[in-house]
Amino acid sequence: MNRLSLPLVLVLLGLSAVAIAAPAPRADDPVDHTVPSYDMKAQALLDLENMQKKFVDLAKALPAEKMTWRPSADSRSFSEVFLHVSAERYGILGMMGAETPAGVDRKTLEKSTTDRTRIVDELNKSWEFAQKTIKGMSNADFAKLLPKLGPQANAGDVVYILVADAHEHLGQSIAYARENGIVPPWTVETQKQAAEKKAEQK
């Protein structure tokens, strides 16, 4: 097992352990027949789409020479973080059986280029793959058990891991940017709107 997938499997096993430890419902427990108010599919897609936009916006905001910057010799560079995100979309969704598109080598993708245009293209292609895969899932698909990942693991857990992984690497890329004195574009826009609102109130 490679070092990238091990933490993901550990998270799944942890989820499984929680599910096993949860007390079984009793016969006299009230049954909740209300429609669930949380739609994981819709929320996951919305969350992933927002992060995709931020990854692309941040990649475009970086000076070209910063793509190879890394905080230490044993850390990923900017370009490697962005391409790692792309590779993980294929790899994580592959845990529930989604097939990586022909021509994509997710094992070498991370170090395949430092060119901004190609990096943004890879982010867009992998996002289209992830979006299409998740949109094609039914509620029953989300509940599908994946015994190879754990006794209670299911496809919904895999989508959850994809979201969590994206948040982790977005935070990483933001920290990289701040370390280089680069303010994320969405923060710049928020600050601009706040300043305009303040000026209007004077």
pLDDT tens-digit profile, the chain (202 residues): 444 455 555 555 555 554 444 455 566 667 766 766 668 999 999 999 999 999 999 999 999 999 999 999 999 999 999 999 999 999 999 999 999 999 999 999 999 999 999 999 999 999 999 999 999 999 899 999 999 999 999 999 999 999 999 999 999 999 999 999 999 999 999 999 999 888 888 7
Other C-beta atoms within 10 Å of 123: how many?
A: 20
- The answer to whether 59 and 175 are in contact (CB under 8 A) is no
DSSP code for 136: T
Helix and strand numbers (H, E) in the chain are: 8, 0
Enter the pTM of the model. 0.81
Rg of the chain over Cα atoms, rounded to whole angstroms, equals 20
Burial of 26 (0-12, 13-18, 19+ CB in 10 A): exposed
All structural domains of the chain: 41-183 (1.20.120.450)
